[in-house]
Structure 1
Amino acid sequence: MNPMLPAKLASITLLAALLVPAAVWAKSSDRNQPMTIDSTNSDCNFSDNGKCQFSGNVVITQGTLEIQADTADVIQKNGETERVIFTGKQARLKQQMDDNTWMNARADNMDYNVTSEVIVLTGNYNVESDRGTNAGQRMVYNTRTGAMQSGGDGTRVRTVIQPKNKAPAAQGEKK
């Protein structure tokens, strides 16, 4: 396996954690942990313009980060990772944040373009954390600028933003 591949995958998957409204950050210590990729099959071409495909119950773990997908395709261009595509019914990502809360995301397809630093979630995506949720059919997120666009394809998007200081009901209070 290309020694740079796990580092590139780590960067890509950690950036997916930025998809939650209110800018929740991934556990910073995760990027210093070893990455493990388990799958039923792997088919890799390590040429400058090659592709590596992991398939069959793909599970990628690094610290608190866990991604599950039917397939994970890593596409190289000129010796650098250009794109990583996770597919499944559904591809799932979960990670603990620095504030010890959890972020969960799922979509039929998670396509990260390393060159443009844009990740596109399509097919019944849902991103949730304690701070809020965003769901729909298509989300485009620029990890460099923080810009996020959802919808625009004729379907509805639902965003729920939780209050900053959401306190549990006091004992004996009616909800």
Structure 2
Amino acid sequence: MKTATSRALLVLASLVLAGSALARSSDRNEPMTIDAGAQSGTLTGDGKTTLSQGVIITQGTLDLRSADAEIHLRGGEPVRVIFNGRQATMKQQLDDGSWMDAKADRIDYDVTSEIITLTGNYNVVSARGTNAGQRMVYNTRTGEMNSGGDGTRVRTVIQPKNKTATPAAGQGKK
């Protein structure tokens, strides 16, 4: 039982957004801590385990927090993990040393298809830019992202590669 519990919880945290090619790869080799006010359900066979009353998962630089989480199992293996809260948050350092922060009312990770869906006032911030809206679907295998199209607006801000300030027009060297 302990092995199944450890394996399920490892997948729960490490696969949430770790499929992103930029996530700190060394985090997967660090110990994982899962802290929740309560846990109920099964971690073997088919079924669901619920973590509630404030869920905090840390592994290396990964820090994931939500009001509650659900682990759906098939054959004792996690197939879907859902984090709920207003807002569920995730912070992780990337391999380049910068940080990525994500927030959403719901973070739904389909382990089988490796697709993450952020729903409800999501916001993703990194050194490369920001993306915010009501719903984003991200394929961790391909890097493809889809958002909007549901009558709501999506806002993306992309930071310039060269952040060195350039003189405004007419303010060249004298």
Q: TM-score, normalised by structure 2?
A: 0.88
The structure 2 residue matched to 1:143, chosen from 140, 144, 147, is 140
Give the share of equivalent positions with the same residue, in percent.
Answer: 58
**What CA distance in whole angstroms lies between the structure 1 residues aligned with 2:11 and 2:23?**
16
Q: Pairwise mapping of residues 149-168 of structure 1 onto structure 2 (< 5 A)?
A: 149-167=146-164
The aligned residue for residue 5 of structure 1 is 8
CA RMSD of aligned residues (A): 1.8
Counterpart check, 1:106 vs 2:109: no
Residue 16 of structure 2 aligns to which amino acid in structure 1? T
The structure 2 residue matched to 1:97, chosen from 71, 90, 94, is 94
**What CA distance in whole angstroms lies between the structure 2 residues aligned with 1:73 and 1:98?**
28
**What CA distance in whole angstroms lies between the structure 1 residues aligned with 2:43 and 2:51?**
14
**What CA distance in whole angstroms lies between the structure 1 residues aligned with 2:110 and 2:17?**
13
**What CA distance in whole angstroms lies between the structure 2 residues aligned with 1:32 and 1:43?**
27
Task: Report the alpha carbon displacement of residue 168 of structure 1 after superposing the two structures with TM.
Answer: 5.3
**What CA distance in whole angstroms lies between the structure 1 residues aligned with 2:14 and 2:33?**
14
The aligned residue for residue 39 of structure 2 is 42
- Between stretches 108-117 and 6-15, larger displacement belongs to 6-15
The answer to whether the 8 Å contact 1:89/1:108 transfers is yes
Unpaired stretches in structure 2, ≥5 consecutive residues = none
Counterpart check, 1:115 vs 2:112: yes
The answer to whether the 8 Å contact 1:54/1:73 transfers is yes
* Equivalences, count: 165
The structure 2 residue matched to 1:84, chosen from 70, 81, 84, is 81
**What CA distance in whole angstroms lies between the structure 1 residues aligned with 2:34 and 2:88?**
15
Whichever of the two has the greater Rg, that structure is 2
Residue 9 of structure 2 aligns to which amino acid in structure 1? P
Task: Report the alpha carbon displacement of residue 5 of structure 1 after superposing the two structures with TM.
Answer: 1.4
Residue 4 of structure 1 aligns to which amino acid in structure 2? R
Residues 1-22 of structure 1: CA distance to partner in whole angstroms, max 9, x if unpaired? Answer: 4231133123312436x3xxxx
Q: Secondary structure at the residue paired with 2:14?
A: helix
Q: TM-score, normalised by structure 1?
A: 0.88
The answer to whether the 8 Å contact 2:24/2:93 transfers is yes
Task: Report the alpha carbon displacement of residue 51 of structure 1 after superposing the two structures with TM.
Answer: 1.1
**What CA distance in whole angstroms lies between the structure 2 residues aligned with 1:136 and 1:14?**
18
Task: Report the alpha carbon displacement of residue 169 of structure 1 after superposing the two structures with TM.
Answer: 7.4
